[in-house]
């Protein structure tokens, strides 16, 4: 299975087989000290020009995901936000880490794990496990 790297040591390091993260993502309540509020995943080995999958976690709601596509120089070219459904994408939550996320973007840990598996297999193709909406199509609040 493909390996991914991350910023948070879920188990003991920063690089994992995707399957190792299943218990942390599908049952975050069982590992509250191991699931951070946010993190970035990259297919290992990664480079500056690697696409990324980021999340914001909120207890009781789940995971808000952003799939970021970059060009060969590492510049962002497209971002896509997970969507649980068309409702609530225009209502926003302000998280403790100062992130602002659409309320309708939260998906379950099981869905997140499916997305992460797809990302690890091919970070250049959006996962079909959830719906996605282009970042630019969201009416973000003014800062």
Give residue 34's pLDDT band: very low, low, confident or very high (50, 70, 90). low
**pLDDT at residue 32 tops 80:** no
Token pair belonging to 90: 């225009």
What's the confidence (pLDDT) of residue 117?
Answer: 95
**pLDDT at residue 72 tops 90:** no
Residue in this structure with the two tokens 């290992």, named with its chain if needed: 44
Average pLDDT over residues 28-34: 69
What's the confidence (pLDDT) of residue 67?
Answer: 97
Q: From residue 65, how far is each of 20, 29, 55, 57, 61 by CA, in Å?
A: 19, 19, 5, 9, 12
Give residue 16's pLDDT band: very low, low, confident or very high (50, 70, 90). confident
Range ranked top by mean pLDDT from 30-34, 44-48, 51-55: 51-55
pLDDT tens per residue across span 4-15? 888 766 665 688
Domain residue limits, the chain: 3-137
DSSP result, 40-74: EEEESS--TT--EEEEEEETTTEEEEEEEEE-TTS
By three-state DSSP, how is residue 104 classified? helix
């Amino acid at each position: 299975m493909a390996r991914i790297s991350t910023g948070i040591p879920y188990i003991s390091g920063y690089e994992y087989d995707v399957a190792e993260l299943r218990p942390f993502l599908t049952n975050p309540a069982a590992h509250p000290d191991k699931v951070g509020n946010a993190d970035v995943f990259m297919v290992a080995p990664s480079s500056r020009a690697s696409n990324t999958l980021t999340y914001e976690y909120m207890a009781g709601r789940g995971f808000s995901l952003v799939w970021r596509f970059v060009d060969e120089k590492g510049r962002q070219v497209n971002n896509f936000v997970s969507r649980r459904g068309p409702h609530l994408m225009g209502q926003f939550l302000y998280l403790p880490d100062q992130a602002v996320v659409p309320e309708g973007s939260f998906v379950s840990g099981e869905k997140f794990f499916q997305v992460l598996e797809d990302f690890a297999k091919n970070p250049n193709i959006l996962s079909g496990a959830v719906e996605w909406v282009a970042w630019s199509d969201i009416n973000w609040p003014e800062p």
